Amino acid sequence: MADHYFHTPDGPIRTREVTTTIFGHDLSFTTANGVYSGAGLDPGTAILLRESAPPTSGRILDLGCGWGPIAIGLAVASKQVRVDAVDVNERALELCRLNAERAGVAERVPAMLPDQVADTATYDEIWSNPPIRIGKPALHELLLHWLPRLAPTGSARLVVGKNLGADSLQRWLIDQGYPAERTASAKGFRVIRVLPGG
């Protein structure tokens, strides 16, 4: 099980610079060892961003923000969105804050631990490349904690590898009362749109 899902790594930090295009904007990021996809934008997140249109306004949750490509990409694409960038890895949050500052969106991309999110916070959209490898029980608990925070007209966008159980996750979501449909499929990944539970 990947340690970066649960805590900030010990030892010295080794950073690297990566550049990628998100929603038509060329963005530079600092990444590092000890965080998810520290070598650069991972294929699943790249497909989620490529296959989804950014919202023009609203409050968004980037669940498992890592070093910030989703949160920052969304904030750069629209000046009318606020994106709460949430992760359990404090090194990832530090990088996300640094990258948001560099992109000029730090005021609209607060990076925080899950327990720093207000209990009353609700979201127009949730975007996530969820931590599938933490195992089904932990993943299900995570989703059942955050999906109820969707606004009544909101939706979530998840990207999951087909070989990591995307189709069974979609069925599970439906069984939990959350309408879920596949909106894209590419390079072994599914993008799943989830609506609020009834």
Mean pLDDT score of the chain, rounded to an integer? Answer: 93
Single out the residue of 100, 94, 90, 91 nearest to residue 69, CA to CA.
100
Per-residue pLDDT at 84: 98
Map out the domains of the chain with their CATH numbers: 43-194 (3.40.50.150)
Per-residue pLDDT at 12: 81
- C-alpha span between 194 and 170 (Å, rounded): 9
Per-residue pLDDT at 39: 84
Percent of the chain residues past pLDDT 70, beyond the cut: 94
Does pLDDT of 157 surpass 70? yes
Average the pLDDT over 161-176 and give the result: 94
Does pLDDT of 153 surpass 70? yes
| Least confident among 27-41, 138-152, 177-191 | 27-41
Instruction: Summarize pLDDT for 22-70 with one digit per residue, the tens.
Output: 999 999 999 998 898 888 899 999 999 999 999 999 999 999 999 999 9
Residues 6+ apart with CB under 8 A from 94: 111
- C-alpha span between 123 and 135 (Å, rounded): 25
Instruction: Summarize pLDDT for 64-119 with one digit per residue, the tens.
Output: 999 999 999 999 999 999 999 999 999 999 999 999 999 999 999 999 999 999 99
Per-residue pLDDT at 4: 43
Does pLDDT of 3 surpass 50? no
- C-alpha span between 76 and 91 (Å, rounded): 22
